[in-house]
Amino acid sequence: MSAADLAPLVTLALRCADAAGAVARKHYRTPVAVDVKADTSPVTIADREVESAIRAILTAERPQDGILGEEHGSRDLNAEYVWVIDPIDGTKSFITGRPLFTTLIALLHRGVPVLGIIDQPVIGDRWLGVAGQATTLNGNPIRTRLCPDPAMATQAATMPFPHPEFRQTEAASRYMVWGGDAYAFGLLAAGFIDLMVEAGLQPYDWAALVAVIEGAGGVITDWEGQPLRLGTNGNVVAAGDPSLHAKILQTIRPRL
Amino acid sequence: MSAADLAPLVTLALRCADAAGAVARKHYRTPVAVDVKADTSPVTIADREVESAIRAILTAERPQDGILGEEHGSRDLNAEYVWVIDPIDGTKSFITGRPLFTTLIALLHRGVPVLGIIDQPVIGDRWLGVAGQATTLNGNPIRTRLCPDPAMATQAATMPFPHPEFRQTEAASRYMVWGGDAYAFGLLAAGFIDLMVEAGLQPYDWAALVAVIEGAGGVITDWEGQPLRLGTNGNVVAAGDPSLHAKILQTIRPRL
């Protein structure tokens, strides 16, 4: 896809992020009822209203496209373009008043992520990744940092995953920063974190991360080194330095 | 101590927090050299410069008081008043560009915490706790929330502590939020988190939390239910609901 093809889609995605942020800010640090989903994860009216706001815009402007959202289901996943939405990534951060939750908006073209937004609407941190272009944070181009040595890496993780592959990378890293979600992947793209190893992510968790990280010089794949596509098991490894990514894969693949 | 006695000390502490924030913001999300201390924790020029800025004010205005700081040591710990300073609590958040680090400023009067500030200078979140007064967040009075049942509690933790007491509370809580530090204790005071169980905290980690949490209706003690004072082992349990605190103590004390 050319930059000219993508430009109107980027504009539309940014409009969706603006609408999402207005809804999320309205509910932030207010007492919200927390429901529990079938997978035991929490969900609030903010998750549902933010996704509805985004879907309303997309349905009006791009009725021919597919949509995969965390809260309101899927439609037309075989369309040429599919939007992937996580209205509130980091719902536990949201309900505890931590301004690290984000809205994630991604676009797949024939299954390949070509656009990703990570938006934190309280602080006003917005990452924009577009295939073939330099990723920006709040409009400024960003780059990942060099860190070829796992023993020098700062690793972030949303939680202590029980998988032996994760435990191994945790033990080998210099520093662990806990409580990650997509915001930490954004910080990896910006050169402040070197490594993330996460397990069981859903498409709406990872779809927006791909263009953001790749456009900043980083690498994000599954644990076998394969590109992230619908159907993946959601075990994800991301590194700012491609040589670090390759070393981590060598370490954890013998276990698979 | 009367409110009138404390008022000028509160003014002075807020002035220290303002000075600290200006220094911290200058270094935030810039490439800073990270040194490793004897306890393997990271330290940067920001930690050192922030503490120096605070000590310069206190030394000029209150030369008779003691000071205990994380980076530049202690003096006159037997003085009637002792200031306790953590220039950058959450240094790993600071060096990874997460706006959850805080500056902690506390005052002990004859060993008893009577004043605490938790200040996040990038977002602009400031908690102020003063003995006998309602705790405020950004000037607005806050209260902890009711949550008598451990199974309904949202627990935050800076990291997965290996202690069996911690593991037990983690397993019993409804939700875990990872990556805490003092910012999470502030959110507990504000009624968004119910429980924190942490191990091995230093005086500069916990001193500012006491007045903030107690002034919001919460309880913070060591794992044996004793008040936090210099000389504690730094194993801390804090709860927004006093009845939750009592239940957690009953659960973990048999192990001690």
Q: B227-249, pLDDT tens digit by residue?
A: 999 999 999 999 999 999 999 99
Six-digit token string for A133: 């272009």
For tokens 């220039």, name the residue: B87
Instruction: Divide the 256 residues of chain A into consecutive groups of 10 and give the mean pLDDT of each group.
Output: 92 98 95 78 89 98 97 94 97 95 98 98 97 98 97 97 95 94 98 97 97 98 97 97 97 74
Q: State which residue of chain B sits closest to A157, comparing Cα positions.
A: B178
**pTM assigned to the model:** 0.96
Six-digit token string for B252: 């973990």
Which residues in chain A are contacts of B190 at CB distance < 8 A?
29, 97
* ipTM score for this prediction: 0.94
Which residues in chain B are contacts of A99 at CB distance < 8 A?
99, 123
Question: Per-residue pLDDT tens for A176-187?
Answer: 999 989 999 999
Six-digit token string for B27: 């270094």
Local confidence band at B24 (pLDDT 50, 70, 90 cut-offs): very high
Asked if B179's CB is within 8 angstroms of A160's CB, the reply is no
Q: What percent of chain B has pLDDT over 70?
A: 99
Which residues in chain A are contacts of B43 at CB distance < 8 A?
none
The pLDDT of residue B256 is 58
Size of interface A-B (CB pairs under 8 A): 76
The pLDDT of residue A147 is 97
**Strand positions, DSSP E, chain A:** 35-36, 42-43, 66-69, 73-75, 81-89, 102-109, 112-120, 125-130, 136-137, 140-141, 154-157, 175-178, 195-198, 219-222, 236-239
The pLDDT of residue B40 is 75
Question: Per-residue pLDDT tens for B110-156?
Answer: 999 999 999 999 999 999 999 999 999 999 999 999 999 999 999 99
Helices (H), chain B: 3-27, 45-61, 91-95, 164-172, 181-189, 203-214, 242-252
Q: What percent of chain B has pLDDT over 90?
A: 88
Number of other CB atoms surrounding residue A8 within 10 Å: 11
Of A123, A177, A184, nearest to B123 by CB-CB distance is A123
CA distances to A185, A194, B19, B96, B170 from A189, in Å = 6, 9, 31, 11, 31
Q: What is the mean pLDDT of residues B184-205?
A: 97
DSSP character string of A161-223 = ---HHHHHHHHHSSEEEE--HHHHHHHHHTTS--EEEE-S--HHHHHHHHHHHHTTT-EEEET
Backbone angles phi, psi at A222, to 5 degrees: -85, 180
CA distance B19 to A95: 31
The pLDDT of residue A256 is 58
Is residue A6 within 8 Å of A116, Cβ to Cβ? no
CA distance B62 to B69: 15
The pLDDT of residue B253 is 78
The pLDDT of residue B33 is 77
